């Protein structure tokens, strides 16, 4: 499909992961669709998703149990209607995937399920052992390629959402083959840009996950929600000089233990579910054990499991660890937590509509409230599938912008982020140095265990960083700007939430705020963080 002469299409989808691809397939029924990806077509968090996709499809499971487990993991902050949509619409969406050629692992003719932390049933489907996301993306891509209305354009890095008369109507993007930015107009734009893990020094995310969609939406004036809730995966491979490769929670679901440097199994001291406790509990426990033993890591112990089963069930993990001379069937595996998933993002309703007309969001970039304060394991792929399809339906029906709570307007309300300051403007830092500083500040001061003093220091230092102006028209420069913007937002929202809830733990406010019902945070270009 070629673009029209006026360089316009009916729908622009930003991102080619599970949410973007699923939406594009349905959008193709209503017009011309272009999918823009900043890197290779398959380079997304979906491609690297190991553990699986959760759905109540087994004989001993029910959607009500899946709903209960999701809400329990969300620590009081899940939007229950969003959870209901997720668990009820998930099974038929997975069946649709299977009809399109998705190959889940099976035991004979029956689907194979495994259990992960905080699930009361074995309901996690997987493919090729530990390559579930890759197989889902293959099936979706194969389906999309059969639809003539869909154009795939890799290496198209979107830098800006364009508004006319308040409506998002176009995007600007960079291509390596073009000397200047290009523009595509559309009837509606879907943000499916994925995660933001690379605002942290330690992350399981691929390098493309810079929070681009969140930053673009914020600059365009969209409302964001729950930015302080960043999930840290408990078990990332810790090898100096190597990327923090994720070691699936399914390893613990199969019976692996966590041991500290003294080889003590410690999780039973922290939670009755031990290694299968919610991720926030496990990540904090590991952090505390590392502090107690003055170590940089703890161990994941699979040596009590059947070696042949481990190799067959987790082939990618086994082969990756072997590249670092670690045999997971016989060796203790050094691990530590790393930034993994954003529960917050661009605020949406149940159909992906944002606060801006013409702009929709689905997948990790969106904040539907389905995950609350702490995502239940393997619900992320399901969210992309379900809400990608829902966003497409809303875009086809030209659904208007969503309504959200307004910021406080009473005297003394906090000033917006861009308010003028009497301090001199910060000196611009070289782009690579600025990125390094942001990622280090977030990891040191806005990570698993937080407090007001270090969060204030983080906000001050992040606000004091600046990039060269005018910003060079390059992907690294715009990624740096997005990382800085998102880092500031996470730190500011974390400082504003004076309680501990789910993935947000404040040592100076270690308990939940029980004086008020659980509240979501909101922030925009024109308002400081507020709660409703």
CA angle at residue 168 from 164 to 172, to 5 degrees?
90
| DSSP classification of residue 350 | T
DSSP string, 229-286: -EEEEEEEE--TTS---B--THHHHTT-EEE-TT--B-GGGT-TTGGGS-HHHHHHHH
**Judging by beta carbons within 10 Å of its beta carbon (0-12, 13-18, 19+), is residue 452 exposed, middle or buried?**
middle
Closest alpha carbon to 66 in 89, 46, 48: 89
Active site residue 279: yes
Please give the radius of gyration of the chain, using alpha carbons only, rounded to the nearest integer. 22
Which of 115, 279, 336, 501 is an active site residue? 279
Dist CA 365 CA 345 (whole Å) = 5
DSSP string, 176-196: TT-SS-EEEEEEEEEE-----
Dist CA 73 CA 280 (whole Å) = 9
List all residues 6 or more positions away from 146 whose beta carbon is below 8 Å from its beta carbon: none
Question: Is there a contact between 347 and 532 (Cβ–Cβ < 8 Å)?
Answer: no
Closest alpha carbon to 90 in 115, 72, 65, 114: 65
HSE-CB at 65 with a 13 A cutoff on CA atoms is: 15
Closest alpha carbon to 234 in 188, 187, 202: 202
CA angle at residue 347 from 63 to 76, to 5 degrees?
50
Closest alpha carbon to 245 in 203, 293, 185, 182: 203
HSE-CB at 171 with a 13 A cutoff on CA atoms is: 29
Task: Show the tokens assigned to 328.
Answer: 């997971």
Which residues, listed in sequence order, are joined to residue 184 by a DSSP beta bridge?
171
**Catalytic site residues?**
279
């Amino acid at each position: 499909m070629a673009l029209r002469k006026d360089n316009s299409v009916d729908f622009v989808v930003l991102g080619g992961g599970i949410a973007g691809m699923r939406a594009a397939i349905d959008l193709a029924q209503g017009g011309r669709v272009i999918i823009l990806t900043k890197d290779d077509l398959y380079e997304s968090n979906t491609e690297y998703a190991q553990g699986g996709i959760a759905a109540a499809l087994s004989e001993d499971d029910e959607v009500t149990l899946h709903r209960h487990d999701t809400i329990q993991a969300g620590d009081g902050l899940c939007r229950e209607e969003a959870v209901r949509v997720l668990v009820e619409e998930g099974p038929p969406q997975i069946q649709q995937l299977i009809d399109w050629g998705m190959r889940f692992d099976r035991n004979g003719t029956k689907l194979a399920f495994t259990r992960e932390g905080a699930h009361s049933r074995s309901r996690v489907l997987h493919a090729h052992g530990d390559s579930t996301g890759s197989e889902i993306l293959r099936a979706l891509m194969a389906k999309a390629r059969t639809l003539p209305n869909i154009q795939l354009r890799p290496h198209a890095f979107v830098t800006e959402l364009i508004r006319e008369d308040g409506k998002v109507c176009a995007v600007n993007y960079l291509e390596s083959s073009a000397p200047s930015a290009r523009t595509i107009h559309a009837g509606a734009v879907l943000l499916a840009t994925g995660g933001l893990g690379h605002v942290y020094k330690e992350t399981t995310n691929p390098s493309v996950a810079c929070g681009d969609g969140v930053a673009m939406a914020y600059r365009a004036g969209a409302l964001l929600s729950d930015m302080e809730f960043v999930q840290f995966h408990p078990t990332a491979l810790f090898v100096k000089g190597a990327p923090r490769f994720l070691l699936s929670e399914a390893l613990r679901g199969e019976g692996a233990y966590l041991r500290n440097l003294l080889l003590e199994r410690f999780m039973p001291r922290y939670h009755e579910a031990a290694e299968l406790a919610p991720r926030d509990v496990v990540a904090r426990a590991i952090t505390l054990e590392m502090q107690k033993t003055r170590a940089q890591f703890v161990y994941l112990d699979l040596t009590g499991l059947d070696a042949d089963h481990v190799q067959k069930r987790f082939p990618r993990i086994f082969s990756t660890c072997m590249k670092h001379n670690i045999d997971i069937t016989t060796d203790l595996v050094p691990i530590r937590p790393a930034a993994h998933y954003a529960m917050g993002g661009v605020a949406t309703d149940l159909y992906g509509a944002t606060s801006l007309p013409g702009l929709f969001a689905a997948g990790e970039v969106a904040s539907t409230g389905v995950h609350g304060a702490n995502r239940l394991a393997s619900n992320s792929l399901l969210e992309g599938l379900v809400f990608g399809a829902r966003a497409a339906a809303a875009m086809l029906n030209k659904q208007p912008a969503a309504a959200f709570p307004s910021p406080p307007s009473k005297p003394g309300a906090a000033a917006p982020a861009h308010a003028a300051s009497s301090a001199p403007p910060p000196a611009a830092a070289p782009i690579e140095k600025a990125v390094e500083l942001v990622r280090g500040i977030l990891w040191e001061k806005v990570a698993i265990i937080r407090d007001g003093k270090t969060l204030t220091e983080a906000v001050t230092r992040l606000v004091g960083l600046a990039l060269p102006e005018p910003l060079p028209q390059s992907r690294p420069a715009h990624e740096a700007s997005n990382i800085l913007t998102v880092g500031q937002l996470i730190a500011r929202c974390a400082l504003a939430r004076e309680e501990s809830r789910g993935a947000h733990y404040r040592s100076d406010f270690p308990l939940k705020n029980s004086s008020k019902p659980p509240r979501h945070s909101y922030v925009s270009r024109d308002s400081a963080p507020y709660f409703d």
